[in-house]
């Protein structure tokens, strides 16, 4: 979430990699540029910091300079279920220490844009990806918890993990579903811990009290990095465990 969230990732990620012995890092970067969108420079910084794949969501279109990179950078994803013909792609397959890992980005429709159905589009995308590897990871960028849980159960057994993003607030419902898919409703954010979903509190409170859509500004204070660690059996693609974490990163100021 904004420059504070990016700084937190740049500072903390290498330590987290050592702590969790992580082999692959996926980060949703759609709020990296001042809270709305992503720039090529920030994408490069996230990759250099140790992120392997960047997913996104409804805000990825806010910075037009990212559009060419959506086409050219295979590890930068926008949701697969946007209309056919928009820039970019919604999935990729990366090699992780000799294991092929597929990553799929999808976006929800409840209380969001009426784009193509994430269930039908997602099922077809997973079918194609599983022809290359049994290890398939999904970032489902959605507003409604019921839509996230429904898609996780719909895909149970066909994907290794489905992680929800978008609300910026980490949920406590991480679990392994009956057929081996790890899931959580929302992974949370990397950003200012004292903001309102990362926004300056005074602005957020004024927006609620007055109903005037004041321009949002990212809070700049001590930050947290939130996420989950998923352990996967790469032979069959089933998840063995999922753990959530939140780590505080003090402000440089």
Average pLDDT over the chain, rounded to an integer: 96
HSE, side-chain direction, 13 A CA sphere, residue 230: 28
For 11-44, what is each residue's pLDDT tens digit?
999 999 999 999 999 999 999 999 999 999 999 9
Structural domains counted in the chain: 1
| Residue 219 near residue 241 (C-beta atoms within 8 A) | no
Q: How far apart are CA 38 and CA 60, in angstroms?
A: 6
Q: Which secondary-structure segment (H or E) carries 165?
A: strand 161-165
Report whether pLDDT(159) > 70: yes
- Cβ burial of 235 (10 Å; 0-12, 13-18, 19+) is exposed
| Residue 141 near residue 167 (C-beta atoms within 8 A) | no
Residue with tokens 């979430």: 1
9's tokens? 């990732």
CATH code for position 33: 3.60.21.10
142's tokens? 């959605």
* 168 is a catalytic site residue: no
Give the domain extent around 187.
Answer: 2-249
Count of CB atoms within 10 A of residue 161's CB?
Answer: 28
Q: Which of 59, 141, 166, 168 is catalytic?
A: 59
H helices then E strands: how many in the chain? Answer: 6, 11
Mean pLDDT of 217-228: 93
Global pTM?
0.95
Q: What is the pLDDT of residue 221?
A: 86
| Residue 30 near residue 37 (C-beta atoms within 8 A) | yes
Q: What is the pLDDT of residue 29?
A: 97
Band of pLDDT at residue 253, cut at 50, 70 and 90: low
- Sign of the torsion formed by the C-alpha atoms of 198, 24, 30 and 116: negative
Check residue 169 and report its DSSP letter: S
For 180-221, what is each residue's pLDDT tens digit?
999 999 999 999 999 999 999 999 999 999 999 998 899 988
């Amino acid at each position: 979430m904004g420059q504070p969230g990016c700084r937190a990732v740049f500072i903390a990620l290498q330590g987290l990699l050592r702590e969790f012995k992580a082999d692959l890092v996926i980060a949703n970067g759609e709020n990296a540029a001042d809270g709305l969108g992503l720039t090529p420079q920030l994408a490069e910084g996230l990759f250099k910091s140790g992120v392997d794949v960047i997913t996104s969501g409804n805000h990825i279109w806010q910075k037009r300079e990212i559009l060419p990179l959506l086409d050219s950078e295979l590890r930068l994803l926008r949701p697969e279920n946007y209309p056919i013909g928009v820039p970019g792609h919604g999935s990729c397959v990366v090699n992780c220490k000799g294991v092929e890992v597929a990553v799929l980005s999808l976006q929800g429709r409840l209380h969001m844009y009426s784009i193509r159905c994430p269930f039908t589009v997602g099922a077809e995308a997973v079918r194609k990806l599983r022809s290359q590897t049994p290890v398939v990871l999904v970032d489902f960028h959605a507003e409604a918890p019921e839509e996230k849980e429904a898609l996780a159960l719909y895909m149970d057994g066909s994907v290794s993990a489905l992680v929800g993003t978008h609300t910026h607030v980490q949920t406590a419902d991480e679990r392994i579903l009956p057929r081996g898919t790890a899931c959580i409703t929302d992974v949370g954010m990397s950003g200012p811990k004292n903001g309102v979903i990362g926004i300056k509190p005074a602005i957020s409170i004024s927006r609620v009290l007055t109903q005037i859509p004041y321009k949002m500004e990212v809070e700049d204070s001590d930050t947290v990095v939130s996420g989950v660690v998923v352990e996967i059996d790469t032979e069959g693609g089933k998840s063995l465990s999922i753990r959530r974490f939140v780590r505080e990163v003090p402000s440089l100021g």
